[in-house]
Structure 1
Amino acid sequence: MKRKFGILFIALTIMAAAFGDARSYAAHWGLSGDLGAHDPTIMKEGNSWYVFSTGEGIQGLRSDDGKNFYRIPQIFLTAPSWWKNYVPNQKPMDVWAPDVKSYNGKVWMYYSISTFGSNVSAIGLASASSIGAGSWKDEGIVLSTNGTQNYNAIDPELVIDANGEPWLAFGSFWSGLKLTKLDKNTMKPTGSLTSIARRTVNDGAIEAPSITYHNGYYYLFASIDKCCSGVNSTYKMVYGRSKSITGPYVDKNGVSMMNNGGTILDAGNARWKGPGGQDIYNANLIVRHAYDAEDEGRPKLMISDLKWTSDGWPTY
């Protein structure tokens, strides 16, 4: 028996060397190359993985093996003329928190423009036949805030519900996270806003909604507390769930996310500070940034398998 087990172990070792160790994709992915990213969104097209993130003109990364990433051209080379009309004080070409998804035969890229700490903001939209094809088309303004509203038009997330209908989640600070129905043809709002999460502590710090559907529930992921401060960031990821896409979302303790609820998924560790700005892909993958304490607090890309407990809650 021992000899047979040894032969089997050797055979499996040879297969792993020939075909690649399957464990390389288990749990936290071992990434290399250019990993600079903040507020990342991820999508697979063909055999390649694409990540887009906050930065000049929307920054892009690509990997052809799911491990090594390299930088690709930014989405916008020049600013659409309408940006300045809605956010006059925007830093040139500074684009935040994109979200990329495929729907109805096109690839859609939602993104936001703003200035730090302000709710004079706008969400825009670009489209392409595929990521690989490029040639992104400016689809214009989706929605905006001018400083008089009690919410903020940043951190957009395209959500496709269980019936194939499109929605847009967004929001940051103020009265929290919002959800609105989208028109299938224009991919722009066609209904009223629904509040889905808010905080009344820590200056109302909640943002970056990401909603995914899994086994009869919609799961709302969000980032809370302070981002964008390198190793001093206190960002952390939280979640809740609901039978309805419009809520109410409650955490594992039954506390509503409209009342400071949210179970912590990740609050960082000694090296990786302030994880957040997350995006969920196909209910089984989570991408986010964290600040690397071993590299002067620079934000870097992190990807992990998203798993589910027997009672239906997300975990690494």
Structure 2
Amino acid sequence: MQHIFRKAFLALALVGTALTASAEHWALSGDLGVHDPAIIKEGNTWWTFSTGDGLQVLYSADGKAWNRGSKIFSSRPSWWKTSVPAHTGLDVWAPDVVNYNGKVWLYYSISSFGTNTSAIGLMSATSIAKGDWSDKGKVISTKAGSNDYNAIDPNLTFDASGQPYLVFGSWFSGIKIVKIDKSTMKPTGSVSTLAKRSGGIEGPTVFYREGYYYLFVSIDKCCSGTSSTYKTAYGRATKITGPYVDKNGKKMTDGYSTVLDAGNARWVGPGGQDIYRENGFSIIARHAYDATANGAPKLLISDLKFSGGWPTY
């Protein structure tokens, strides 16, 4: 989930979280409980949206010390029941949040775990701080037995000319992309495939940098605490619609990718990543399961570097 802003804003150095030439894993504190985080900065405030009841929100004055805010949903939009009949309660998954054309756009997904009867929805607001969210309804949906892909894990991205696209998908037939209408912020045209993998692939994030489009994904399995096998991986392409290849030139549509982060003894199963970019610098936010806290998923943020045109820490 990457965020490209059309307006200039304060450099991160002003709030003590500068994106420097050397890799840095940010020292975070406070309430860090997230899964599938989407990160954005509005004015001087950082915001993180994540999977959970009503769609969870964290905020921070410096990007390091985090507090929990008010959830987005206190009641269910009426269209949820029609699109995903088995979905109950306020469980909302894998959001993406982008400032574009004078509004904040919040994409999110609802589903029933393990199925592809799912839907991606859309909210908009004049600003995150105001919280004047308006339901824009369904963006795209899938149904078990009718579709071979899964309408969850949305990421709004842009090609080099500024044309918006929605990238999405989880397991099944893989990662998809569709062009977005600039007026409705909903799909126009056909859906095509960017990547697939039999062992699990989801959580796509695409962004453009210096002639290449980078596709980040989460591979293998999440959601099992310290037994999770999630890994953050990537490929790149010269066109937003692909083909995306790993560092060895093998196609992501053939199941290949290059692993950026496979975790460590404490931080198990890193994934659900989002990329935030500013003035040529990038950071990556993701969750990992904390082995020192019974496998609770927590927020991690690091500077994202590039070496020879490929991502690294």
Tell whether the structures are fold-level matches, with TM greater than 0.5: yes
In structure 1, the partner of 2:155 is 157
Task: Give the CA deviation at 1:211.
Answer: 0.3
* Counterpart among 230, 234, 240 of residue 235 in structure 1: 230
User: In the superposition, relative to structure 1, how do residues 257 and 21 fare at CA in structure 2: closer, same or farther (>3 Å)?
Assistant: closer
> Structure 1's 21 and 75: CA in aligned 2 closer, same or farther, altered over 3 A?
closer
In 2, Cα distance between the equivalents of 1:43 and 1:22?
15
Counterpart pick for 2:207 among 209, 212, 221: 212
Question: Deviating runs (4+, > 4 A) in structure 1?
Answer: 19-26
Give the direction of change, closer, same or farther, for the CA distance of 1:21–1:272 in structure 2 (3 Å limit): closer
Structure 2 partner of 1:278: 273
Q: Deviations over 1:265-314 (max 9, x none)?
A: 000000000000001111601100000000000000011111111x1001
Structure 1 residue 193 displacement after superposition: 0.5
Structure 1 gaps, min length 5: 1-18
Matched, 1:97 2:94: yes
Mapping of residues 74-93 of structure 1, within 5 Å: 74-93=71-90
Is 1:52 matched up with 2:49?
yes
Count the aligned residue pairs. 294
Cα deviation, residue 91, structure 1? 3.0
CA distance in structure 1 between the aligned counterparts of 2:98 and 2:271, rounded to whole angstroms:
19
Provide the rounded CA distance (Å) in 2 between the counterparts of 1:234 and 1:301. 17
Q: What residue identity is the alignment partner of 2:260?
A: L
Query: Which has the higher relative contact order, 1 or 2, with Cα contacts under 8 A spaced 6 or more apart?
Result: 2
Unpaired runs of 5+ residues, structure 2, are 1-14
Secondary structure, aligned partner of 2:81 = helix
TM-score by length of 1: 0.91
Normalising to structure 2: TM-score of the pair? Answer: 0.91
Aligned counterparts of 1:139 and 1:128: Cα–Cα separation in 2: 10
Pairwise mapping of residues 188-203 of structure 1 onto structure 2 (< 5 A)?
188-200=186-198, 202=199
Indicate yes or no: 2:142 matched with 1:130. Answer: no
Aligned equivalent of 2:7: none
What is the alpha-carbon distance in structure 2 between the residues aligned to residue 65 and residue 179 of structure 1?
33
| Deviation sequence 1:243-273 (CA, Å, 0-9, x none) | 0000000010001000011000000000000
How many Å apart are 1:37 and its aligned residue?
Answer: 0.1
AA of the residue aligned to 1:50? W
Instruction: Compute the displacement of 1:26 (Å).
Output: 5.4
User: In structure 2, the residue corresponding to 1:168 is in which secondary structure?
Assistant: strand
2:258 counterpart residue number: 263
Residue correspondence of structure 1 range 103-182 to structure 2 within 5 A: 103-147=100-144, 148-182=146-180
Does 2:298 correspond to 1:303?
Answer: no
Question: CA 1:91 to 1:308, structure 2 compared with 1: closer, same or farther past 3 Å?
Answer: same
Matching residue of 1:4: none
Q: Answer whether contact 2:23 2:304 (CA < 8 A) is retained.
A: no
Q: Aligned partners of 1:301, 1:271: CA distance in 2, in Å?
A: 13
In terms of Rg, which structure is larger? 1
Alignment pair present for 1:246 and 2:241: yes
Question: How much has 1:132 moved relative to structure 2?
Answer: 0.9
Structure with greater proportional helix content: 1
